[in-house]
Homo-oligomer: A and B are copies of this chain.
């Protein structure tokens, strides 16, 4: 399965601004991307990163794992993988819906396409396998706030529209084509990391590079009066 992973490299994760500065947001979001790519790969998908601007360095991510110093914004997909094939990275700064709809048009008849957003820090191979293996012409994993965090498209007629209540819109678009969409019920796939409260989820449930990065800088704290959990700098 081709799995498009769109990444906003321009000014990622601005809503994390109250707790992470711009350099940190960049470093953290690249680690989430790396985790998602690894999980897609381990789930048997073929990840294709589509980024709004070049990643990490100018070098198109061909640097090797033994490379010199690892700067905050530098990473290497290949370190995490069996590396029988390189991860494809394309720069495309058009709106996400345009890029994905063009990709749907370009998918050959015997191929399946998935779109998995890059900020699913909780995504695991198990969660993604469940998505990929769910039958249906249109399979949707909702995100919090009526979003669409992951999608499998097995019909060339389908169109995406990522603005606003995209989860409801995608159900509606499928039904308008006579397709009954299938919804995948996954907390891991529903948790895109946008706001400081989402970082609690990364600390509690994350397992990859993004978790490791965050865990070195933040810890969970329990508000004793209400028992609510939040994060604080270590």
Contact = CB atoms under 8 A, between A and B. Distances in A.
A224 B224 CA distance: 38
B165 A229 contact: yes
Given A186-B186, A227-B164, A144 B201 contact: yes
A101 B90 CA distance: 55
A229 B127 CA distance: 25
A204 B166 CA distance: 11
A2 to B, nearest CB: 24
Nearest to A186: B185
Interface in A192-229: 197, 200-201, 204-205, 220, 222, 224, 227-229
Contact of A229 (B126, B145, B188, B200): B145
Contacts of A200: 144-146
Contacts of A220: 146, 165
A7 interface: no
Interface string A154-191: 00000000111101100000000000000001111110
A168 B204 contact: yes
Copies of this chain per assembly? 2
A228 B192 CA distance: 13
Contacts of A227: 162-164
A142 interface: yes
A182 to B, nearest CB: 12
Contacts of A224: 164
A142 B229 contact: no
Nearest to A194: B228
Contacts of A190: 187, 190
